[in-house]
A and B are shown apart, each in its own frame.
Chain A
Amino acid sequence: MRLILVLLCVAAVSFGLIMLSPIDPIDAYLGSQMAQVSPDQRALIAEQWGFDAPPAAQFSRWLSQLLSGELGWSHIYNQPVSDVISQRFQRSILLLGSAWLLALLVGFALGIIAGAKEGSLLDRLICGYVYVTASTPTFWLAMLALLLFSVYLGWMPTCCAGPTGVVNQDVSTLTRLHHLILPVATLALLGIAAITLHTRARMVALMRSDIALHAFAQGATRFDIAWRHGIRHASLPAITLAFASLGELFGGSILIEQVFAYPGLGQATVEAGLRSDVPLLLGIALFTALFVSIGNLIADSLYQLIDPRISKEQP
Chain B
Amino acid sequence: MLQINQLNLQLPHYRKWWRREWATCIEDVTFDVQPAEIHAVIGASGAGKSLLASTIMGLLPEGAKATGQLYFDGNLLTSEHQQRLRGHQLALIPQSLNALDPLVRSQRQVSWAARRAGNPHTVAWQLAREALSHYQLDRDAQRRYPHELSGGMARRVLTAMAHVSRANLIIADEPSVGLDPQQRNRVLAALKALALEGKAVILITHDLRHALPIADRVTIMRQGRSVETTQASAFQGQGEQLQSTYARALWHALPNNAFSTSPTRLSSKEPTLA
Contacts and interface: CB of A to CB of B under 8 A. Distances in A.
A217 B103 contact: no
Contacts of A217: 57, 59, 86-87, 90-92, 94
B103 A210 contact: no
B92 A214 contact: yes
Contacts of B103: 229, 232-233, 306-308
B98 A209 contact: yes
Contact of B101 (A219, A224, A229, A306): A229
B249 interface: no
B99 interface: yes
B101 A218 contact: no
Interface string B95-107: 0101111111000
Interface residues of B, number: 28
A2 interface: no
Contact of A211 (B57, B91, B101, B117): B101
A309 interface: yes
Interface residues of A, number: 20
A220 B104 contact: no
B147 A308 contact: yes
B87 A220 contact: yes
Contacts of B57: 217
Contacts of B101: 211, 229, 232-233
B104 A224 contact: no
A216 interface: yes
25 contacts: A209-B98, A210-B94, A210-B98, A214-B94, A215-B112, A215-B116, A217-B86, A217-B87, A217-B91, A217-B94, A218-B86, A218-B116, A219-B83, A219-B85, A219-B87, A219-B116, A219-B117, A220-B87, A224-B116, A228-B104, A228-B112, A232-B103, A307-B103, A309-B102, A309-B147
10 A-B pairs with the lowest CB-CB distances in the bound complex, closest first:
A219-B87, A214-B99, A217-B92, A219-B86, A218-B87, A210-B98, A210-B99, A218-B116, A308-B145, A232-B103
